[in-house]
Structure 1
């Protein structure tokens, strides 16, 4: 009988440990970077004809240190122009939409432009993201939801642009690694 009680205690501790470990691991998986399991990522799947960078779209679809270069030149500035985001498989009521922009610049980068956004048929507006000189990759965010971007249709057709003005032959470049929209959905209970 004493032996049976020891087995029960042992298995009770083992099961408790497994449950706690599972909860901890689930928290690590679903809350990476303060994201909940109801958050989704939308990446650009199309760029507009206005984009004159010659860069492949895949260079800004993942965080992989493969860069989308926007060069200012003596012939005019470089323009990054994204005009469609992938929302496939997403549905529900949106409670947040945060634009994330990850970039780095060359040492002499001294431009003053902002990342801009627009809804379909709307005028471009500045975000608060103003790339600055940095040798290390940085990520800056902008709350699109607070600006009224609150449906999946609006996110899908959202336009994002950044102009790197020219003016001289070796005008500094900016390198975008990853641009994405983190979308939060209302939980269904």
Structure 2
């Protein structure tokens, strides 16, 4: 895993052999996986009257218009837990938000609850389990609370304005899930750092 560096060229004679990076280094490779992201499929909604801006714009309860909700990769809503408008591209969010959106259709406006999940994802890469929960920004305070980068087994916490807002774990699944729970409970960054798991 390399951060802060991009791909300059993929080289080889008829098949990939190496990848030249923007820092001048070269990585030998047999396979390259290109992750280019996704664009929400909203073209079919043009003219529907729904507001489209990097997805279907919803209120905090997932309501896009009277009697219309959106969920999953296409829904963009203000998550009050993080004071941030977001669109989450992960199947776990689609399931959770789908249930919330369905319940929203069954209640009156005054009984509607905001959708405030702690987004999370994981990826198993050979013997590495990479997990992230919360919303991490480049300027957040970061502290490794267990393990180390050298051993490639660690949990790092992220704080903003005194609150715990994220956790990143390499081969620390139990830690990630417990810190995710602390994010859900609104724990302070200082309390999370001081907590031994």
TM-score scaled by structure 1?
0.21
TM-score scaled by structure 2?
0.20
Larger radius of gyration: 1
The higher-RCO structure (CA 8 Å, 6+ apart) is 1
